[in-house]
Amino acid sequence: MHASPTVYAPAPSGAGVFATRPSARHLLGLEGLSRETLLAILDDAEHDLERLATDRSPTDELRLATVVIAMFEDSTRTRVSFQIAAKRLGATVSTFSSHGLSLSKGETLRDTLRIFEANGADVIVVRHSSPGAPAYLAEQVESAVVNAGDGMHEHPTQGLLDLMTLRQAWGGSFAGRRIAIVGDVSHSRVARSAIFGLTTLGVPVTLAGPATLMPAEIERMQVTVASSVDEAMEGADAVMALRIQRERMEAGLLPSLSEYTRTWGIDAARVRRMKPDAVVLHPGPVNRGVELAPDVADGERSVILDQVANGVAVRCAVLRRSVSAMAREAA
């Protein structure tokens, strides 16, 4: 028996104030996107996934578009899948990391993006360590801006691929399902985007993790907070483990990794607390043996590689949406 978890309401207001003229050309976060918009992107991504399964040749859908991928923070999955997605749609693609750019000579972020724009970028995909950087940049350029992860704020394309993976695992519907999100919620843009998307789609979310790693605004979130990982996972339809960043220990927010693993790590016994068809997600990179036991990460319930595969399809749908919105706004 477990104590009843605490339910908090109403909806979260987000990680801060990001004043932006509303425009479908940008994807800055999942906060505020309607159920219809989320489902339309997921449906579009499913068509891309079906096509990519049988035909890997590029289309000419974005033949006239230029996509610049600007990574001011490290990335493997997001960078590669945006590159592949843009090329699959026939776009001209250019990828940069902050290393090697003239930012090191004192050029501002705004001026850097305006250089990309002057070179003909229609869509600029931005990852940056500062929450709100993509929203700020969307105000400064006419190009479409897609947030590829901004600090602790949001990672909307990760949120979309997580939704896509869950819908597939759940037989095509979110109805009647519940998910546990476990770990460092406070510093996780992945968790924040997932919470916005899932709550909009009516999926109850239960959070579990050390109190020091829960967000300050949790009392305004439409989520349930469990007192243990066992309580959170009991009868759930999925669990999403979040990456633990080792610097949290140095900051005194975690006693030790072994203590974290014992209290909050997801092993096979904890997976058995969920429904028989429940799945295990992780955004990566995984700290094997810390937030996930290796046999869980590689086990039959793991959909981690499905998340990665869905990333290309989601990013195809997002790039297409941005370019279509630009064309509509220009008409």
The answer to whether 287 contacts ligand CP (rule: CB under 6 A) is: no
Query: What does each C-alpha distance from 63 to 66, 81, 285 come to in angstroms?
Result: 8, 18, 33
Among all chains, which residue has been given the structure tokens 């590029």?
Answer: 58
Beta carbon of residue 287, minimum distance to ligand CP (angstroms, whole number): 13
Output 66 or 158, the one with its CB closest to ligand CP: 158
185-188 own/partner pairs: CB under 8 Å, 24+ apart: 185/209, 185/213, 185/214, 185/215, 185/218, 185/242, 186/152, 186/212, 186/213, 186/214, 186/215, 186/216, 187/152, 187/213, 187/245, 187/248, 188/152, 188/242, 188/243
Q: Which residues, including other chains, have CB under 8 Å from residue 75's CB and lie 6 or more apart?
A: 127, 148, 149
**Three-state DSSP state, 289:** coil
Output 224 or 310, the one with its CB closest to ligand CP: 310
User: CA–CA separation, 173 vs 178, rounded Å?
Assistant: 12
Among all chains, which residue has been given the structure tokens 């020091």?
Answer: 212
Output 114 or 282, the one with its CB closest to ligand CP: 282
The correct pick among 58, 204, 284, 289 for binding ligand CP (CB under 6 A) is 284
The correct pick among 5, 149, 209, 265 for binding ligand CP (CB under 6 A) is 149
Beta carbon of residue 242, minimum distance to ligand CP (angstroms, whole number): 11
Output 76 or 258, the one with its CB closest to ligand CP: 76
Beta carbon of residue 77, minimum distance to ligand CP (angstroms, whole number): 4
Output 91 or 194, the one with its CB closest to ligand CP: 194
Beta carbon of residue 1, minimum distance to ligand CP (angstroms, whole number): 36
Output 31 or 231, the one with its CB closest to ligand CP: 31
User: CA–CA separation, 307 vs 158, rounded Å?
Assistant: 9
Site for ligand CP in 70-129 (CB under 6 A): 75-78
The correct pick among 83, 112, 143, 158 for binding ligand CP (CB under 6 A) is 158
The answer to whether 310 contacts ligand CP (rule: CB under 6 A) is: no
Output 81 or 112, the one with its CB closest to ligand CP: 81
Query: Considering CB under 6 A, how many residues would be counted as binding ligand CP?
Result: 9
Could you tell me if 213 and 135 are in contact, meaning their C-beta atoms sit under 8 angstroms apart? no
> Bridge-partner residues for 125, per DSSP?
69, 146
Backbone angles phi, psi at 6, to 5 degrees: -85, 135
The answer to whether 147 contacts ligand CP (rule: CB under 6 A) is: no
Beta carbon of residue 76, minimum distance to ligand CP (angstroms, whole number): 4
Around 173, how many Cα atoms within 13 Å sit in the side-chain half-sphere?
2
**Three-state DSSP state, 210:** coil
Output 108 or 129, the one with its CB closest to ligand CP: 129
The answer to whether 51 contacts ligand CP (rule: CB under 6 A) is: no
Could you tell me if 190 and 165 are in contact, meaning their C-beta atoms sit under 8 angstroms apart? no
The answer to whether 283 contacts ligand CP (rule: CB under 6 A) is: yes
Segment near ligand CP (CB under 6 A); pick from 69-77, 100-108, 261-269, 286-294: 69-77
Contact residues toward ligand CP (CB under 6 A) are 75-78, 149, 155, 158, 283-284
